[in-house]
Chain A
Amino acid sequence: AQKITQTQPGMFVQEKEAVTLDCTYDTSDPSYGLFWYKQPSSGEMIFLIYQGSYDQQNATEGRYSLNFQKARKSANLVISASQLGDSAMYFCAMREGLNQGGKLIFGQGTELSVKP
């Protein structure tokens, strides 16, 4: 079974509008972290935002916010006021449990295109 599922292979959004990228996860470990990364065509993975399983509040980082619904096992990324530079692949990832250090499990990604 997929541990991280991103159901939107591609999405379009108009510049200056908000967009939500979906992510659902599957784990039985009570301690986990959820991450969102942006990958432009250059290839580098850029860390955007993080949500911990014990965090009570949804994470926010500038124009990025994470809509964390623990019971539904979803961690959707919301980008407000989209910019042309937001066009990229977006990956949701999970670190299961403690002491997993460098091992993240990634979803298949969503390609976001921002239209002028």
Chain B
Amino acid sequence: KAGVTQTPRYLIKTRGQQVTLSCSPISGHRSVSWYQQTPGQGLQFLFEYFSETQRNKGNFPGRFSGRQFSNSRSEMNVSTLELGDSALYLCASSLDHLSSYNSPLHFGNGTRLTVT
């Protein structure tokens, strides 16, 4: 069974630009969550999508948005990039958004975004 696939692996963008990251969950998983990882703030939850609807949201500005397609693939978009948006962005999948508290998330390899 293929794992969570994130593309691209690396991105370099300039301040003010926007960027779109893609995530394909494990086959059969319908929930996709996004996390931002930085050396200063660590791993922080961005949002979760299930059935093409955002089900949960972290404490990030509106420049960070996402969507999910009918095949459960998800994209996240960051508009008007700032230097502080440089981070590893991790996507994780699970069966559904009501996963019992004992089911782990399965993560992809991440997209490393550098904003210059």
A residues contacting B by CB (< 8 A) are 31-33, 35, 37, 42-47, 50, 52-53, 91, 93, 95, 97-109
> Are A52 and B101 in contact, with the CB atoms below 8 A?
yes
A43-B112, A44-B107, A47-B104 known; A101+B42 contact, CB < 8 A: no
The total of Cβ contacts below 8 Å across the A-B interface reads 79
Chain B residues with a Cβ closer than 8 Å to the other chain, count: 31
> Are A101 and B112 in contact, with the CB atoms below 8 A?
no
> Are B100 and A100 in contact, with the CB atoms below 8 A?
no
Q: Does chain A have a CB within 8 A of B32?
A: yes
What are 24 A-B interface contacts by the 8 Å CB criterion? A32-B101, A33-B101, A35-B104, A35-B105, A37-B107, A44-B108, A45-B105, A46-B107, A47-B104, A52-B102, A93-B43, A95-B101, A101-B31, A101-B33, A101-B94, A102-B31, A102-B33, A102-B48, A102-B97, A103-B48, A103-B56, A105-B45, A106-B44, A109-B42
A43-B88, A106-B42, A108-B42 known; A101+B110 contact, CB < 8 A: no
Q: For the complex, would chain A's binding face be called helix, strand, loop or mixed by DSSP majority?
A: loop
Q: Chain B residues near A31: list those with CB within 8 A.
A: 101
Q: Does chain A have a CB within 8 A of B13?
A: no
Residue of B nearest to A91 (CB): B43
Q: Chain B residues near A42: list those with CB within 8 A.
A: 109
